[in-house]
Structure 1
Amino acid sequence: MSEECTHDCSTCGSSCEHVDAKDLIAPLNKDSSIKHVYAIMSGKGGVGKSSTTASLATAMAKRGYKVGIMDADITGPSIPTAFGLDTRAVGDGESIFPELTPGGIKIISLNLLLENKGDPVVWRGSLLGGVVKQFWTDVRWGELDYLFIDMPPGTGDVPLTVFQSIPVDGIVVVTSPQDLVSLIVTKAVRMAEMMNKPILGVVENYSYFQCPNCGEKHYIFGKSNLEQVAAELQVKVLAQIPMDPAMAAAMDQGAMETMEHNYLEPVADAILAHEQG
């Protein structure tokens, strides 16, 4: 079994010893050019991963960059809702065209392709991974400075497909201040390390609630031990985001681009610093 391979090669009838990881990268759509790709992932669901992705994409777009989001959370897509998109994406027989948000962010999601957005996606992992791969090969992204991939929770088939098929430049791990934070973050970080993908750091959502009257911070889920966990894993804490009713409302109302305060600005700074050296 090769170090580049994540499964038992004897089970697939082939030898992976001489396979370079670069050989597994799928070709980008011929009418597209993407400079940087970043994946937003978590070891579990319900930690605000999609709101983090939407906020980060918005922060980069407002800085003047050309930005896109690939919604790879196939069975739980929420990115179109975050930006108020309710039309269906179309194609020309060769490529699929991403939808455009009011702020100019290009979006592709399975919910933009389904005839009925309420229909469940009851597919096996191989089919889910195939769709995500097609989002890279068949979507006409045009010219992008940044593509952000909103990953599904966990470390299963789809994340594996993304890391093997798409040239991801870095990963942001999202978590919340609960007792399982150590295990959740560790799983995500370990997978990134196995796939040889650099980790920019960790974002913690729901860190605290700040009283709008007195400004005091209340730690609803208890004080986090993220700093300790991050130190043990040798990763940075990029941001600790409060419980903000305005952000929840913006996600539900499709108004993420109109948020006055963007908590992901420090992560945008970290991405730019990562590229500079």
Structure 2
Amino acid sequence: VSPVPHWCPRHPSPQQQRPPRQRLGTAGARPRPRRRRRRKSPLETARATLFPVGQVGCFVFQVALLDIDICGPSIPKIMGLEGEQVHQSGSGWSPVYVEENLGVMSVGFLLSSPDDAVIWRGPKKNGLIKQFLRDVDWGEVDYLIVDTPPGTSDEHLSIVQYLSATRIDGAVIVTTPQEVSLQDVRKEINFCRKVKLPIIGVVENMSGFVCPKCKNESQIFPPTTGGAEKMCQNLSVSLLGKVPLDPQIGKSCDRGQSFLAEAPESPATLSYRNIIQRIQEYCEQHHLQEEKRM
């Protein structure tokens, strides 16, 4: 177990010792006596999308990727950023950049070793999530993508609360075909509905396996109750797509390389691209609807 580091929410940073900047207008905000016009922070104009991330590809948009899986941060490994550290500047913490248009922030950058265990209760987790939103100098971004841990825990409640004043596009929920996974996903769908978080759709991962030699497809995880497709029909949720098993995905993640770039002709790559396109179309439509309401 690693000792409590100096950046823990219990130990105020120089940014916390002065009146906090309202990075999102939600975290730690105090009510104002009167309405005043003010310049929006970069993240206030971003679209927030919450979902567990396997691979992120961005070619046009300025994207911020926030990993709030405090106890199991895997984003640094997947994105090829293991060993990178967060730097402090006059405007806050600087995210670690994969490309010029993709900045990443994770608790994994704050650990001395990737094997260190983070054993924190809810209040400490919430404090760090608030710092990530308020004290990180993300710059101007188009999309904020939040990678959450499985389940419906403190991290999910906190991020929805802290981003409540922004226009959250919604959540992308990932499952596998077997019923033991679908049971948990039904709970996550109910959670989203209770906290009034829109659901962009569901992705079925590990959906069949295509043999690279004979091209025959087999079901490694049989959908005994109809899989994600049947569940989405019953719960009136969109099925964004199905991603087949491909050993290359695991190899690319372990090397911190883009699977889409390494295996452009893979059936899984085609599925990823179709899913990305559907998410983008949903976000654009959601953004237009929000503008009409304003």
1:234 paired to 2:229: no
* Cα distance in 2, alignment partners of residues 87 and 203 from structure 1: 30
Give, in angstroms, the shift of residue 182 of structure 1.
3.2
**Does the CA contact (< 8 Å) of 1:181 and 1:226 recur in 2?**
no
Q: Deviations over 1:187-232 (max 9, x none)?
A: 1111111111110110111111101122211101113522111111
Unaligned runs of 5+ in 1: 1-22, 41-48
Gaps of 5+ in 2: 1-23, 30-38, 287-294
Alignment of 1:1-277 (within 5 A): 25-26=26-27, 32-33=42-43, 34-40=45-51, 49-51=52-54, 55=55, 57-58=56-57, 61-62=58-59, 64-85=60-81, 86-92=83-89, 94-102=91-99, 104-166=101-163, 167=166, 168-223=168-223, 224-256=226-258, 258-261=261-264, 262=269, 263-274=271-282, 275-277=284-286
Cα-to-partner distance string for 1:44-78 (whole Å, 9 max, x where unaligned): xxxxx431xxx2x31xx12x111121001011001
CA RMSD of aligned residues (A): 2.3
Q: Quick check: which has more Rg, 1 or 2?
A: 2
SS of 1:227 mapped into structure 2 = helix
Q: What letter is aligned with 1:243?
A: L
CA contact (8 A) 1:74 1:121 kept: yes
**Structure 1 SS opposite 2:191:** helix
Instruction: State the SS of the aligned residue for 1:101.
Output: strand
Q: How many residues align?
A: 240
Tell me how far 1:115 sits from its aligned partner.
Answer: 2.5
Q: Which has the higher contact order (CA 8 A, sep 6+)?
A: 1
Q: TM-score, normalised by structure 1?
A: 0.80
Q: Aligned partners of 2:72, 2:127: CA distance in 1, in Å?
A: 16
What letter matches 2:281 in structure 1?
A
- Contact preservation (8 Å) 1:247, 1:259: no
User: Within 1, Cα distance between the matches of 2:154 and 2:25?
Assistant: 15
**Alignment deviations for residues 81-137 of structure 1 (CA, whole Å, 9 cap, x no partner):** 111112101112551000011474100001112223321101101211221121111
Whole-angstrom distance in 2 between the partners of 1:255 and 1:200: 26
Output one character per residue of 1:236-268: Cα deviation in whole Å (capped at 9) or x when no partner: 111111111111001000002633333322232
Whether the 8 Å contact between 1:26 and 1:133 is mirrored in structure 2 is yes
Checking the alignment, whether the CA contact within 8 Å between 1:80 and 1:109 is kept in structure 2 is yes
1:18 match = none
